A and B are shown apart, each in its own frame.
Chain A
Amino acid sequence: MLQTTFVLAFREIRRHILRSFLTLLGIVIGVFSVITMVTLGNGATEAIRTSIASLGSDVLQIRPGQNAGPGGGNGEVPPPFDPADVEAIREQISGVTAVTGLAQTQGSAIRNAQNWSTTISGTTNGYFIAQKWALSKGRQFSPGEEQAGKSVCVIGQTIVDNLFKGIDPVGQNFRIKGISCSVVGVLEARGQGNFGNDQDDTVIMPIKAVQRQMTGNQDIRAIMVGLNPEYDAATIRKSITGLLRERRGLGSDKADDFNVLDAKQISDTVSGTVNILTMLVGGVAGVSLLVGGIGIMNIMLVSVTERTREIGIRLAIGALSHEVLLQFLVEAIVLSCLGGITGMVLALMACVIAAPLMGLPFLFDVQINALSFLFSAQIGVVFGYFPARRAARLNPIEALRYD
C-alpha cells in the first residue's frame, strides 16, 4: 500500500521533471543558504576562537587595579602583589598548570651602537608554560639561574631584529637597563597581540634578577596562571578571586582591587557576537526556506487543478480517497526531501570551496544539516497536506468531467 503510493509518487515526479525541478528549487535554495551561512559562520567563529586561543587562552592574568564603574575607584592606587601571593595560588588552587609572578619595568636594551626601548619582564619558566610560548632557539632558564637571579634572558623576535641583525643571539651579551645580560634563548615570533601590541618586543629575565637589580623591591605587577582545560575556568577564577581578597584583607563591603583578565572570556565574547550574527543570517536564510515551502504548496495546488481529471480517473478505477491524499503528500515530501538533500550537498560543496578562500576552517555542523533536512521534510508535510486534501476530496464525477 505504502509501496504503491511511493511507486505512484515517483512516477509522477519523473513524468513532470520540469515542474518537479521548479518545485524543488525553492527548497534547494533555502536549505543551501541556511547551511552555507551557518557553516561559514561557524568557521568564522572557530577562526576567531583559535586566533585568540593562540594568544594564550587558558591563561588568567591578574593585575592590581580597580574596575572602573559605579562604586569602584576611589583614587587610591591598589598595592601590588608579593611573592607569597604567587605561592598561595600555586599551593591552594587546584586546576592550575603554572603560576608565575611577573615583575615588569621599561628599559633600554643596548648593544654596540643600537639602542632599543622595551619591556622587561621578570618571571619564571612557568611563564612559558602559562603563555604556551615555545622557544625558537636556545633554552629556558636553569633552576640555578632562577634561584640565584642570574643576569640571563630570553628575548623576543623584535629584540633580535633590532639588536642582533644577522647573528645568532644565543650566548651573546648586551646591556639592559644598565646591567649586562646574556641571551640564553629566543622566543618564537608571535606578532600582534589582542590589542595591537607587539608581543615580540620583550625581554624575559628571572624574576629575582629584575627585582634585585632593576625595580629594587619584591613587588609583583602581574600574576600569570595557566589553566588546566579540564577544569572549569570560571570556578578557578572565583577561587583565585576569593583567595586574593582574603590575602589583601578586603572586607565584604569592598570591591576587588585587582582584575582577573581572562583571554578565554574575551574569546567567548567575540565568538558570541559572531554566533549571534550567524544565527541572524541563518534566520534570514530560514525565511527563504519557508518561502520555498510556500512555493511547493503553490505548485502542488496548481498541479491538483491541472490533474483534476487524473484524480477522477484514479478514483473511478478504485483508488480510495486517502490513497490519493497519500500520493500527493508523498509527492510533496519526496520533492522537499530531494530538495533538502540537493541543497545540503550543494551547500557542503560550496563551503568546502569557499571556506579556504575566505581563510576559514570548514566545520561540518551535524546539527544544522539534520535540522535543515528535517525542516524541509516538514515543509513537504505541511505545505503538501492542503493540496493533497483538496485532491482527495474531489468528487470523481466532476473530476472526470473537468477539462
Chain B
Amino acid sequence: MAEPLIALRGVTKTFGEGDAAFQALRGVDLEVTQGDFVAVMGASGSGKSTTMNILGCLDTPSSGSFIFKGGHVEQLDVDQRAMLRRRYLGFVFQGFNLLARTSALENVELPLLYRGEAPQNRHKIAMTALDRVGLVPWADHTPAQLSGGQQQRVAIARAIVTEPDILLADEPTGNLDSERSVEIMELLTQFNTDLGITILMVTHEAEMAAYARTIIRFKDGVVEAVERR
C-alpha cells in the first residue's frame, strides 16, 4: 500500500488544566491514503470533531504526531499551518459558515483572494466551482437568499475551489433533510472520483457513511475500528 497521505500517531488532546482538565483524545492512531473517501463515525463526545480540527490544522495535538505528506505538522507554527490550510485543505462545516451579506460568488472567491489570484482568474475559477455544484444561476445570491442545501453547496464550492488535496467535512449533512443530504453526498463522491480529492467526513448517519470506502469508528477518544469496503 502507498505511503499514507495523513497519519496520526498516538495523538492526545487535553482541554483545560488541573482539575478541569479533560482528555478528549487518548492516543489516536489512524492513516488515510491518498484518494480515499473516509467516513468518521462514533458517539457524541467521542472526539471526532477534535480529531478533524487537528487534521485541519486548526488545532494542535497535546502529544503525539501528525504527519501530512511526510512532514510533521505538530512542529509547524501558526502561520505555517495556515499556509497548509490555504494550499492543501478545504473545509465544509455543519453550519455552512458562509459570510453573511456576501454573494455566493464572493464567498467562493474568498480562498482565491487569500491565495493572491488575479481578479479575472478569480472570477473564472469561482464560476467553474459554482458550476460544479450547479449554482451558477445563484451566483449573485447572498446566503440569506439560498436554501440550506444550496448554502452547503456554496460551502462545498468554496472548499474545492482551490483544488485542495483533502476535503474535511464535519457533519456536512447534519442540518439537511435526507433528499438534500443525498445531493451533497453525490457531490462529494463526484469530487472524490473526478478530482481525486481525499475526503474525510464526520457523520452520524449510516446512509451517508455508505458513500465512503473506509469507515473509522471512534469511541471515548480512541479509534475503535477501521472498516474498509
A: which residues have CB within 8 A of B? Answer: 1, 4, 7-8, 11, 15-16, 309-310, 312-323, 396-397, 400
Contact = CB atoms under 8 A, between A and B. Distances in A.
Contact of B114 (A11, A15, A318, A400): A318
B116 to A, nearest CB: 6
A316 B79 contact: no
Given A317-B91, A320-B79, A396 B97 contact: no
A309 B99 CA distance: 9
B85 interface: yes
A321 B82 contact: yes
Contacts of A323: 114
A315 to B, nearest CB: 7
B85 A318 contact: yes
**Which interface residue of A7, A313, A321, A322 has the most chain B CB atoms within 10 A?**
A313
Interface in B61-115: 78-79, 82-83, 85-87, 90-91, 93, 97-102, 106, 110-111, 113-115
B97 A321 contact: no
B189 interface: no
Give the 7 A-B CB pairs with smallest separation, nearest first.
Answer: A318-B86, A318-B114, A317-B111, A320-B82, A396-B58, A313-B97, A318-B85
B59 interface: yes
B78 A319 contact: no
A7 B56 contact: no
A317 B85 contact: yes
B78 A321 contact: yes
B114 A319 contact: yes
B115 A397 contact: no
Given A15-B101, A313-B97, A313-B99, A318 B115 contact: yes
Contacts of B110: 314, 317
A329 to B, nearest CB: 17
A320 B100 CA distance: 21
Contacts of B90: 317
**Which interface residue of A4, A309, A317 has the most chain B CB atoms within 10 A?**
A317
Contacts of A7: 113
A251 B59 CA distance: 91
Contacts of B58: 315-316, 396-397, 400
Given A310-B99, A321-B78, A4 B113 contact: yes
Given A314-B110, A318-B85, A321-B78, A400 B97 contact: yes
Nearest to A322: B79
A314 B86 CA distance: 10
B139 to A, nearest CB: 16
Contact of B85 (A15, A16, A310, A316): A316
A318 B82 contact: yes
A309 B97 contact: yes
B94 to A, nearest CB: 10
B34 interface: no
A15 B106 CA distance: 12
Contacts of B85: 316-318
B53 interface: yes
A322 B78 CA distance: 11
Given A316-B56, A321-B78, A397-B53, 18 more contacts: A15-B101, A312-B97, A314-B114, A316-B58, A316-B97, A317-B110, A317-B111, A317-B158, A317-B159, A318-B83, A319-B114, A320-B82, A320-B114, A321-B79, A322-B79, A397-B58, A400-B58, A400-B93
A8 B97 contact: no
Contacts of A8: 113
Nearest to A15: B101
A317 B114 contact: yes
A11 B82 contact: no
B108 to A, nearest CB: 10
Contacts of B56: 316
**Which interface residue of B86, B99, B101, B110 has the most chain A CB atoms within 10 A?**
B99
A321 B101 CA distance: 23
B67 to A, nearest CB: 21
A316 B162 CA distance: 13
A8 B106 CA distance: 10
A317 B158 CA distance: 9
A15 B102 contact: yes
Contacts of B98: 313
A320 B162 CA distance: 16
Contacts of A318: 82-83, 85-87, 111, 114-115, 162
A312 to B, nearest CB: 8
A319 B116 contact: no
